[in-house]
Amino acid sequence: MGLTDSAERPGFILSTVDALLRWGRSHSMWICNAGSACCSLEMLAAGGPRYDMDRFGTMVRASPRQSDILVIPGPITKKMAPVFTRVYNQMAEPRWVIAMGSCAITGGAFRESYSMTKGADTVLPVDVFVPGCPVRPEALIYALLLLRKKIQTTTTVGESHREPVYLPPVLPPEWTAEVDAFLGEGEVCAE
């Protein structure tokens, strides 16, 4: 088990290591390339010449194993939810999630639809929510910096690990029920 796992009261060495690790983690946040919808265009733009996430050491990696942050740039449909959970679960710890855009936060423009989950936080533990539709590239960078602050202030000593996130292999009944309701009655805009 890791050095930083068990220690109860950090001594000098441990706290130095802790500070170093926090610095390293917060300055090298690699994003997992999991584009899904419109917001991923702005994620692309955030890596582009005008905004350039790379200034903060943020690269986009193709494999979830090597990335630290899962940015969810768009709607999580019910078909996509297992994919995102799997990708999240396959990321190496420590890992964080940013819900980018209204779709990922609540479902946004499609919230009432039968095929949508009601936000990323219903399937994944989300750290940062960035409102916008689409999210401006600057706003995404702001969110990254916010997350950096969080990483910097969270001690790595006695790191509390995130519990694994499972999604049942078959769709939850309430999801299908919702579909039935939608197709059957034709009016679900309850609010």
Q: Is 165 exposed, middle or buried (0-12, 13-18, 19+ CB in 10 A)?
A: middle
Q: Are strands 60-61 and 96-100 parallel, antiparallel or unpaired?
A: unpaired
- Residue 5 found at the interface with other proteins (CB under 8 A): yes
Interface with ligand SF4 by CB under 6 A: which residues?
Answer: 37-39, 74-75, 101-103, 108-109, 133-134
Q: What element of type H or E holds 59?
A: none
- Residue 174 binding: pick among ligand SF4, other proteins, none (C-beta 5-8 Å cut-off by kind): none
Distance in Å, CB of 133 to ligand SF4, minimum: 3
**Near other proteins by CB under 8 A: residue from 7, 10, 15, 51:** 51
Distance in Å, CB of 15 to other proteins, minimum: 14
Helices (H) and strands (E) in the chain, counts: 7, 5
Q: Which residue has the tokens 């419109």?
A: 38
- Measured CA angle at 115 (ends 112, 119), to 5 deg: 65
- Residue 126 found at the interface with other proteins (CB under 8 A): yes
- Residue 50 found at the interface with other proteins (CB under 8 A): yes
64 vs 74 by CB, closer to ligand SF4: 74
